[in-house]
Structures are given as structure tokens and as C-alpha cells.
Amino acid sequence: MYRAPIKDIAHTLKQVAGLDEALEEKRFGELSADLVDAILEEAAKFAGERIAPLAETGDKHGTKLQDGVVTTAPGWKELYTDWAAGGWNALTGDEAYGGQGLPAMLSVAVSEMWNAGSVAFALAPTLTMGAVEALEKHASDELKALYLPKLISGEWTGTMNLTEPQAGSDLGALKARATRNGDDTYSLFGQKIFITYGEHDMTDNIVHLVLARLPDAPAGTKGISLFLVPKFLVNPDGSLGPRNEVFCAGIEHKLGIHASPTCTMIYGDGTSGEGAKGWLVGEENHGLACMFTMMNNARLLVGIQGVAVAEAAYQKALAFARERRQGRAPGAKAGGEMSPIIEHPDIQRTLLTMKGLTQGARAIAYACAHALDMARVSEGDEARHWADRASLLTPVAKAFGTDVGMEAASLGIQVHGGMGFIEETGAARLWRDVRITPIYEGTNGIQAIDLVQRKLPLGNGEHVKGYIAELVAIAYQAAASNRPELGETAKCLSAALADLEEATLYLQKALAEGQLAEALCGATPYLRLFGLAAGGAYLAKGALADGDAARSAICRFYAENLLNETTALKHRVMHGAESLMAAGAALQD
Amino acid sequence: MYRAPIKDIAHTLKQVAGLDEALEEKRFGELSADLVDAILEEAAKFAGERIAPLAETGDKHGTKLQDGVVTTAPGWKELYTDWAAGGWNALTGDEAYGGQGLPAMLSVAVSEMWNAGSVAFALAPTLTMGAVEALEKHASDELKALYLPKLISGEWTGTMNLTEPQAGSDLGALKARATRNGDDTYSLFGQKIFITYGEHDMTDNIVHLVLARLPDAPAGTKGISLFLVPKFLVNPDGSLGPRNEVFCAGIEHKLGIHASPTCTMIYGDGTSGEGAKGWLVGEENHGLACMFTMMNNARLLVGIQGVAVAEAAYQKALAFARERRQGRAPGAKAGGEMSPIIEHPDIQRTLLTMKGLTQGARAIAYACAHALDMARVSEGDEARHWADRASLLTPVAKAFGTDVGMEAASLGIQVHGGMGFIEETGAARLWRDVRITPIYEGTNGIQAIDLVQRKLPLGNGEHVKGYIAELVAIAYQAAASNRPELGETAKCLSAALADLEEATLYLQKALAEGQLAEALCGATPYLRLFGLAAGGAYLAKGALADGDAARSAICRFYAENLLNETTALKHRVMHGAESLMAAGAALQD
């Protein structure tokens, strides 16, 4: 059973991702290291004792739709209620509306725990948090006053309504429409698909944020507006009014995250003749910018889902490998009893790969959260710097984190041998659940394109160079430390960072010269290269920060066994486009 | 819907894996290229028109166990009956017992088609083939006469009974026991788990091959005997006698291959007081050697399952990528309609990676089958040579093939975006089904250990060197061909083969010096390095054999984008052990 790795999480937050310095500089007011520890410990308890034990039930029962009503799995509603009552939903919310105003770093760290307990459960608050953030930044004071307190407390949940059958990655293609009612309200019509927790029985109300077009809107992404559409209309005193014309018309039969209802939502099905009643968030035709507020947050949290599943898979595999005996490991005496499989070098390689990648991806995600926090508490150039940092790291945190989640979940099954293929073991569920994470909130391919096309040019191309320079400084520190237990870490890390730098300069040049196709050919290998190298640097930073022997050993394993992939990745970025384009053309025949 | 890639399959058989030369030299009697083509075409029809359409039904319905009776999915029994009636089960069987005596290459090629249609379906005959081979090689003439005709025709199916709860990879630990009855029969007692098609309703009888210990057997693997245990006893005239005391006590709830019943089998549950009646196959206490006959065959066929799923996933993803439109590809005109996603470079990279790896893994598997065929039709040193070749390639065909199957199935989901996570799309089923293949018939980790520890020393270490030299000759030919459409293929391939050679020599030296643990630390990266390099060489051989533009383009993509991973893999083999062992020790605390 999952136990949150509080030690690793706290170490990564404080000594790797920057929380210690920020606390010292009082950037987060009176927040202390002790309070951070207390929060992590309480969250670990809830995740391990309450969420994780219900994951299996949720997977098995899934959700049921009957007459527009979605029923979640047994125990699910109570779990959610208790979780929200514990104040967990309000962690980062605006204090003016009942939130605790804590840094995103903390929210991301506890989110890792909820997701390791059950991704399907953690999804509901993840979406609510996105809605809260969009409303905090873009909604009118009236809307905020009416909706934020209950969304922040978790009494109501929120949803994101983007996708339509013809518009997935390409939001410019969406067709849902909104008409002006002449007062402050709008009427919405259209169908949205893949709406996570679009309908459920865990709360009294659900607040949908919906992208739609006004009749006179320009074509494409510049003609999209964002609307708030509640399931039940809300009276001025906050009590619930009549049912709004938004209904769940179907739930998907999915590969994983069975306990999370993925709904087809119909806005304005004709029952009232008036459509679903909605309120504008932000300005007309500027909905995409508002939605991006939610999406960036969501992308980081999806990356954390990957890290969370990787950690859960690692713990499960490690426990199994310590118990299960098969064969004799090298050095075991012939004729003696069978060795625990953890003594076999190949199983060790598997577990260490899981552990190293998980730790690297976690550090990237936390560093991204730290940048978000610092941007919030800074001003001027400093704020710009941190905002750029968060922008740069978001696609890496999302795609590298979820790729690592997939890899670790698969390796975890492998450690279990035949038992891994049996559903009751639970390793298969982790693998099925995590399979959505490289897809939603922008596929990992789209993250890679975003990284290359939009993030490398930040700050006239200087921001990413500055970031790499920070990582290179870590490699220098590793070299200067002369710690024998780090082996060739400094050398391997320097080589990987040189690969990253070279590939970065190549892509920036290609973009500057208008060779967009060539640059995009290398997007996916570049993102992997970025994640691997940054992860390795953070592992070294962590190992240098304290004398923990296991941390140094994992850092060294990562450096000497995993980092060397960067050379091949760099080669693909810099020399892969020509053959890709030639063969790609042949594919289309 | 799946259509067998007859052109690729025939090309790989004939021009890459060696069938053309063998036919020219009349090594397989009167078998002609035309007959090969005719067989492939008929098989393609059955796989595409009959098997593939039932895959979804099989997955959805699964199998049911009630009162010891296992019911397969609707249409499954008829499908099997028609398949066997088509003569497909008898392809490679001994002609003396009704088989067609065709080469294993053909059997492997059509097996790819059955598995691409449905792995769950193809498993039944795969197990039967293994039983046929074990009986052909090791059973007495009486047993052969009684059982082989009906196993070869497919009227009955066969099973392999190895695994017990405490004995998975380590067969030395098994406990099932057999007692001598004083006549030519034995009584078997014990429990076996994970028995594929251990019980089903598709045939009148099932022939179990069961590993068990005699009372006076030595401990470990030298005390294991192989027994034939039929579900119904067989009268001397071949008609069915009374029910034997072997029953299915449970079927597993699995991640994939739902239509294939995975049974817990109980031998001798006390109903007769006599145990299950069995007959010895081969000699007492030499069961493991007999079982290895089945297992080697089965390992190659599991590798083919990986190739098959990779091909099916590729076809599905390619079709989707041609239809689905999202965004604008580089160079598409702004404001025009959305581009088919196949025009996006990142999707092209994904599809080309799937295609290249599939083709490489297919060639390795077919080359392994060719070696088996040549060993069968040769004598003396030549037979030894080909037997060694088959031994060398079997773990690579199994592990690289199934790893490629997993990778392609996952990439296939990714191409589908959100639709890939919806079960009705079918991409998720392929991914679930293929997940068992790196596990059963010896996990891929065990294949890697087998390759390093048992296969590198073949022929005093010279066999593998000779094999690599053959691959190097292909790289020379590529260089000499001077074909511009092959780009840097020769250079990349030479570098990869140099990596393979260097890693091989390192491992041979480590083994010779008794550094077993160090060598085994590198087993998994070495197998991947072997598979990647050999696959690249076979792609080049195929491209050189004809002027097909698409084949050359894929070969070049593989060489310039995928092969460069070998350097990192070599580094892990040669320089990864120290950090692995240091960190591995920390894992055990």
C-alpha cells in the first residue's frame, strides 16, 4: 500500500526546488519549514489511509449514468466530503474567499500524494483548482463573490469544457455557441466531450467553465469566449436555484481512471428553449487567454500525476521484489534457498531506473511550481523572470513527468512477472490509469512543440540559456565536491548538459532562420533530452545538499546509466530531420 | 481493420531472412515461391476477414467458468473450428501424422497474421504447436500415434503446465508430483497456475503437458519429468474414454487477452482417489529438456506476437492519422482547413518509429525461424551452426519483438489522442493484450540473462562474432551501393555494429573472468543494443535487395534516428555495473 515518501518530497521541495531560500527570505509571509512538514505529514496520512484503499473499488465499480445522473463508486462521495472538510481543497485559494493562500509548491506536493493514492479521485479537485484560478484572475467581482468561496472550500467542483468531437488539440475549430441575452447573461448551445467529472453525485453543484463562440466572433482562436455555466443556478444569497439546461448525455468506457466520470455534456438541449444560462468570464473573444490560465496549471498537475503514479508503482514493485524469491542471484550459494528477486542485478536496474526517473521528474515539477510561486510574489523583471521560468518548465514537467509515469508503471508490472498481468495485483491499474496523462491537457507531442516553438524564444532566446547555465553550475559543484560516492556524476552531467545546450542553440537557429518543420522534427527528442538532463542536474543538486548515501547512489546510477541517452537524442534533434521528412512524405502515399 | 502486410512479410521472408536462397537450393523439397505466396494470401484473408472482426467481441465477453466448464466468447468456437478445418494448424506438423511439413518460417509468418487479428485467439494454436513439437521429438511411438494426428489437425488443443505459485521463472522450485502406477501410466497430483487455454469449449479434448516430480527424483531442475495428461482418456482406437481427474479451478481476471482463458488447473483433486492419469514423455527426470523444446518454439512465437501487435497498432494509427485533422502543419496555409495530423512532423516521427521497429523486429524473428528450418534440414557442422544461430536469436526475437510491440502499441494510442483512451477505438486493447508478451515464456529480463550467460559463449564465443560479421558485411554493402536515398545508413549502421561488437567482447571477457554479476548488470541494455543493431542491418539488407523507395526511406530513418541509441546502451553495458551495484545494495536496506 502507498505511503507518501515524505522525506524525498520535503527534500526536493526545500533543498532542490528552492523552498528553503524562499522561506528564509520570507517570500511566503510567515510560512515556516515546520508548517510545511506538518502539512506534508497530514496529507500523507490522508492519501495513504483514506484515498489509496478506495482506489481498487473505484477502478472496479467505475461510474454509472442513469437518466442524466452519474453515480460514483461506493465510498467515493464520503471520501471527497471528508477530504474537502479537511481543508485540502482550500490550500492555495485566495484568502479573501476562504483560501489559505499557500504556495503552489505545497499544493503540487500534496497533489502528488492524492494522485498516488488514486488519479481518478485526485482529478476532481485538480479541475476545481483550475477553475478557481481562472475565476480569481479573470472573473468579475460579482462572479467571484458568488462562486469562489464554495469552489475554494470544495463544496462545489469545477470543470473545463474545451474539447468537441472535431476540436481536440485545435481549439480554433470549436463550434459551441453563445448568444447574448441582453442582461448580464448568455445562452449556451453545443456539445462538449471528454469532460472530466462533468456530472457526479459528490457535491450539490458543479461549475462548468465553457469555451464557446459569440455570433459575431472572428473565426479561429481569436473568436472564443469563456463562460461560467453552473449545473444549478445560484441565487444572490448563494443558495441553489433551478436546474440549468446542461446535462450529461453519456460517459466514456475508458482504459483507466474508471472512477472518474468522463462525460459528454450537452448545453441547451431544447428542454427550456433558452439554452444553458452562462456568465462571461473575462472579456468577449478573449476566452483562450483565460483558459490558458487553467491549462498551464493543469499541465503542471498532470505532470505530477505521472510522478505520483511512478512513485506508487515503484513502491509496489520494491515491496514485491523484497518478498518474491526466484532463482539464485550471482554470488548466492548453489543449493541454498531461492534469492529474493531484488538481489538479481536486472531487477535492481529496473527498480533504480524507476526510482531515478521519478526523482528527476519530481524535481522538475516542483521547480516549475516554485517558479509560479516566485512569479506571484515578485514584481517587475523578477516577476518576468520567474514567469518565463514557469513557462519554460511547464511542458517539460507535463511531458517528461507523464512519460516517466508510463515507463515506471510498465517496469513495475514487469517486476511482478505474471502477477503483474493479473488485475487484483494492482500494478496493472496504475499502468492503465497513467496512460491518459501523456494525452490530456495537450498531448506530449504538443508539449514538445510548445517547448520548441514558444518557450525557446522566451526573453529573446536568453531565458533558456540562463536556465541551462544554472544547471551547468550544479555540474561544476559536483565536480568540485570530489565526493567518491558520486563516481562519474560530474562528467556525465556535464556531457548531458553540453548536449542540451548544443541542441538548444541548433533549434533556436533553425527557428530564427524560418526552418520550422526541421525544428519541429526534433521536438519530441528535444523535450526528452531536456527532461533527462534537468532531472540529472536536480538529482546532483539534491545529493550535494546532504550526505544521504542512498541519494548519492541513485544520483550516480542516474548519471552513469540513464543520462548517456542524451547524445542520441541530440543527434536526432540535429541530424534527424532530413530522413524524417523524406520518409514522412512516403507515409502519406 | 487489420490487413496482413503481405508485401512486407514476403519480402522479409525471401530477401532478408534467407528463404529465397533456401528455395533455390531446394532445401525445403518442392516448396516454391509461388506456393509461399499463395499460403500467405490465404492466411491474410482468414486473419483479416475472420479473426480480426471477432477480437473486440472476445475482449468484451472474455471467458466464463462455471462448474469446471469454461465457455469462450460468442463465435469463438466456430472461428477455431473453421481455422483448423482450413488446415492452418497442420502447417508445420510431421507429414507422417497428417502434417504438411512446411518450414517454420511460414508458420511464423502466418502466426504473425493470426496474432495481429487477435493474440487471444492465436494463443490456443501456439500452445498446441509447442505440444506437437515436444511430442514429435520426445514421445514414444504409441503416444505419437494416439495423440499427434488430432493435435496436428487441431481437432484437440495442447497446453504447457509449468508454473506453480512458488515456481514461476524458477522451475527447480516446482512441487507437483507424479507416482508410478506399475503399468505404463503415472498418477499426477498438484496445482498449476497461469495455464493458457487450460480448459475451454472449442475442442472435444485437451492434451496437457505437465512438469512434475517423481517420488525419488533429485532436487531442483534435474528431478523434473514431463507427462502427457489428457482431459479425456483416449481409447486405443482414438475415441474418447472417461474424464480424467484434471479440472479448472479458476480463471484469472487479466489486464488483456481476455478471450484466452488463463486457468488454475488441479491434478488429482481426490474425486477418483487416483490422481490424474498421465504418460511419461521422454525419460524420467529429463522433463526440462523436453520442455525446452516447447519453450524455445514458444519464445519465438511470443516474439512474433509482439511484431504482430506492433503491425496492427501501426495500421490503426496510420489510418487514423490520415483521416483526423487538427491544427496546421508547418507549411500549410494559414486560414486554410486543418491539416490531416499525418502532415505534422511529430506524428510522422511517431509512425516511422513504429514502422521501423516493427520491420526490424520482424526480420529478426524470421531470421530465427529460418535458422530453425536450416538446422532441421542440415547435418553435422552445418546443423550445429544453424542450431546455434537459432539459439542466439531466440531471446532477441522474444524480448526485442515484445518490447517493440509494447512501444508501438503505446505510440499507437498516442497518435489517437483522447480517442486512444476510449476502449471502443481498439487501440487500448492492443496495448493491454501485448502487455503479457514481455512477461510470459520467460520475462524479457530472463531472455537478456539467457542471451548473455548462455548464448554469447556458444561455439566457444565464436558464433556470435560470426553473426556480427555477417551484419557488418551488410553495412559494407550499403556503403558500396552509394545509393543517395540511403543517406547516412552505412555510417550509422557501422557505428551501431561496432558498439555491438565492443559490448559483446566486453561481456565475453567478463564472463570468462568470472565476473558474472558485472556481466548480468548489462544484460537488458545489451539485448536492446543487439536487437536495434540487428534490426537496422536487416532493414538495410531489405532496402539493398530491391529499389522500393518507401523501404529505403524507412531504412534511412531507422539508421539516422533510431540506431544512435546503441552508443548509450554500450556505455551502460560496459560502464554501468559499478553504479548499479552500489545503488542496488542501497535498495535492499
Task: State whether residue A553 sits within 8 Å of chain B by CB.
Answer: yes
pLDDT in tens, B206-219: 999 999 999 999 99
User: What's the rounded mean pLDDT across residues B492-500?
Assistant: 98
Q: How confident is the model at residue A169 (pLDDT cuts 50, 70, 90)?
A: confident
> Which positions 481-540 of B are in contact with A (Cβ < 8 Å)?
485, 487-488, 516-517, 520-521, 523-524
- Report how far residue A287's alpha carbon sits from residue A220's, in angstroms, rounded to the nearest whole number: 12
**What confidence score (pLDDT) does residue A445 get?**
98
Given CA atoms A440, A446, A452, A453 in this order, what sign does their dihedral have?
negative
- Best probe of the A interface among B323, B425, B561, by most A CBs < 10 A, is B561
Q: Is the predicted pLDDT of residue B36 greater than 80, yes or no?
A: yes
Give B382→chain A minimum CA distance, Å: 34
- Report how far residue A203's alpha carbon sits from residue A199's, in angstroms, rounded to the nearest whole number: 10
- Report how far residue B306's alpha carbon sits from residue B311's, in angstroms, rounded to the nearest whole number: 9
Residue B572 amino acid letter: R
User: What's the rounded mean pLDDT across residues B150-165?
Assistant: 96
Q: Is A461 within the bounds of a domain?
A: yes
Q: Is the predicted pLDDT of residue A393 greater than 70, yes or no?
A: yes
Q: Closest to B443 (Cβ–Cβ): which among A255, A351, A414?
A: A414
- Report how far residue B131's alpha carbon sits from residue B117's, in angstroms, rounded to the nearest whole number: 23
Q: Is A525 within the bounds of a domain?
A: yes
On whether the CB atoms of residues B213 and B223 are closer than 8 A, the answer is: yes
Task: State whether residue A169 sits within 8 Å of chain B by CB.
Answer: yes
φ, ψ (nearest 5 deg) of residue B250: 180, 155
Q: How confident is the model at residue B589 (pLDDT cuts 50, 70, 90)?
A: low
- Cβ burial of A57 (10 Å; 0-12, 13-18, 19+) is middle
Whether residue A414 and residue B169 make contact (CB cut-off 8 A), yes or no, is no
Nearest to residue B476, comparing CAs of B450, B497, B462, B457?
B497
Give CA separation, B395 vs B291, B296, B540, in Å: 16, 9, 22
pLDDT in tens, B351-367: 999 999 999 999 999 99
Q: How confident is the model at residue A589 (pLDDT cuts 50, 70, 90)?
A: low
Residues of B in contact with A485 (CB under 8 A): 582
- Report how far residue A209's alpha carbon sits from residue A229's, in angstroms, rounded to the nearest whole number: 6
Q: Is A457 within the bounds of a domain?
A: yes
Cell of B432: 493491454
- Report how far residue B237's alpha carbon sits from residue B215's, in angstroms, rounded to the nearest whole number: 32
Domain housing A480:
445-589
- Report how far residue B259's alpha carbon sits from residue B80's, in angstroms, rounded to the nearest whole number: 12
- Cβ burial of B479 (10 Å; 0-12, 13-18, 19+) is middle
**What confidence score (pLDDT) does residue B539 get?**
98
- Best probe of the B interface among A263, A349, A491, by most B CBs < 10 A, is A349
Question: β-strands A185-196, A177-180: how paired?
Answer: antiparallel
Q: Is A56 a catalytic residue?
A: no
- Cβ burial of A379 (10 Å; 0-12, 13-18, 19+) is exposed
A222-225, Cβ contacts within 8 angstroms, sequence gap of 24 or more: A222/A285, A222/A288, A223/A285, A224/A171, A224/A172, A224/A174, A224/A285, A224/A287, A224/A288, A224/A291, A225/A178, A225/A280, A225/A282, A225/A283, A225/A284, A225/A285, A225/A286, A225/A287
Whether residue B422 and residue A556 make contact (CB cut-off 8 A), yes or no, is no
User: What's the rounded mean pLDDT across residues A537-541?
Assistant: 98
Q: How confident is the model at residue B586 (pLDDT cuts 50, 70, 90)?
A: confident
- Report how far residue A234's alpha carbon sits from residue A243's, in angstroms, rounded to the nearest whole number: 9
- Cβ burial of B436 (10 Å; 0-12, 13-18, 19+) is buried
DSSP string, B368-396: HHHHHHHHHH--HHHHHHHHHHHHHHHHH
Helix (H) or strand (E) holding A115: helix A104-117
**What confidence score (pLDDT) does residue B13 get?**
98
Give the distance from CA B458 to its chain's centroid: 22
Give B222→chain A minimum CA distance, Å: 12
- Report how far residue A42's alpha carbon sits from residue A334's, in angstroms, rounded to the nearest whole number: 48
| DSSP summary character for residue A461 | G
Report the SS3 class of residue B423.
Answer: helix
Q: Is A300 within the bounds of a domain?
A: no
Q: In chain B, pLDDT over 70 holds for what percent of residues?
A: 100
φ, ψ (nearest 5 deg) of residue A27: -70, -25
- Cβ burial of A487 (10 Å; 0-12, 13-18, 19+) is buried
CA dihedral A275, A279, A281, A287 (to 10 degrees): 20
pLDDT in tens, B450-491: 999 999 999 999 999 999 999 999 999 999 999 999 999 999
- Cβ burial of B270 (10 Å; 0-12, 13-18, 19+) is exposed
3-state secondary structure A388-400: HHHHHHHHHHHHH
Give A488→chain B minimum CA distance, Å: 9
Q: How confident is the model at residue B588 (pLDDT cuts 50, 70, 90)?
A: confident
**What confidence score (pLDDT) does residue A359 get?**
98
User: What's the rounded mean pLDDT across residues A574-579?
Assistant: 97
pLDDT in tens, A187-229: 999 999 999 999 999 999 999 999 999 999 999 999 999 999 9
- Report how far residue B447's alpha carbon sits from residue B431's, in angstroms, rounded to the nearest whole number: 21
Q: How confident is the model at residue A335 (pLDDT cuts 50, 70, 90)?
A: confident
Mean pLDDT of chain A: 96
Lowest-confidence range among A342-356, B7-21, B291-305?
B291-305
User: What's the rounded mean pLDDT across residues B118-139?
Assistant: 95
Cα Rg of chain A (Å, integer)? 24
Task: State whether residue A571 sits within 8 Å of chain B by CB.
Answer: yes
Whether residue B553 and residue A440 make contact (CB cut-off 8 A), yes or no, is no
* Cα angle value B104/B105/B109 (rounded, 5°): 115
On whether the CB atoms of residues B215 and B177 are closer than 8 A, the answer is: yes
Q: Residue A554: CB partners within 8 Å, gap ≥ 6?
A: A352, A355, A356, A359, A539, A543, B583, B586
Q: Is B68 within the bounds of a domain?
A: no
Whether residue B169 and residue A327 make contact (CB cut-off 8 A), yes or no, is yes
Cell of B536: 537496422
Describe the crossing of helices A141-153 and A119-138 by its angle, rounded to 10 degrees: 160
pLDDT in tens, A253-286: 999 999 999 999 999 987 777 899 999 999 999 9
Q: Is A281 within the bounds of a domain?
A: no
Q: Is A485 within the bounds of a domain?
A: yes
Give CA separation, B197 vs B72, B143, B255, B434, in Å: 10, 22, 16, 17
Nearest to residue B371, comparing CAs of B103, B100, B40?
B103
Nearest to residue A114, comparing CAs of A259, A298, A304?
A304
pLDDT in tens, A404-430: 999 999 999 999 999 999 999 999 999
Nearest to residue A389, comparing CAs of A468, A474, A294, A495?
A468
**What confidence score (pLDDT) does residue B171 get?**
87
Residue reference for cell 502477477: A419
| DSSP summary character for residue B51 | I
Query: Could you tell me how many residues make up chain B?
Result: 589
- Report how far residue B447's alpha carbon sits from residue B399's, in angstroms, rounded to the nearest whole number: 6
**CATH code, domain carrying B474:** 1.20.140.10
Q: What number of other Cβ atoms are within 10 A of residue B481's Cβ? A: 15
Nearest to residue A214, comparing CAs of A178, A190, A167?
A178
pLDDT in tens, A510-535: 999 999 999 999 999 999 999 999 99
Nearest to residue A47, comparing CAs of A146, A149, A121, A154?
A121
Q: Which carries the bigger pLDDT value, residue B332 or residue A146?
A: A146
Lowest-confidence range among A123-132, A183-192, A287-296, A526-535?
A287-296
On whether the CB atoms of residues B165 and B252 are closer than 8 A, the answer is: no
Residues of A in contact with B524 (CB under 8 A): 346, 349-350
Q: Is the predicted pLDDT of residue B199 greater than 90, yes or no?
A: yes
Q: Is A464 within the bounds of a domain?
A: yes
- Report how far residue A364's alpha carbon sits from residue A388's, in angstroms, rounded to the nearest whole number: 15
b/e sequence A286-318, b meaning 16+ C-beta within 10 Å:
bbbebbebbbbbbbbbbbbbbbbbbbbbbbbbb
Question: β-strands B240-243, B232-234: how paired?
Answer: antiparallel
The structural domain count of chain A equals: 1
pLDDT in tens, B376-434: 999 999 999 999 999 999 999 999 999 999 999 999 999 999 999 999 999 999 999 99
Cα Rg of chain B (Å, integer)? 24
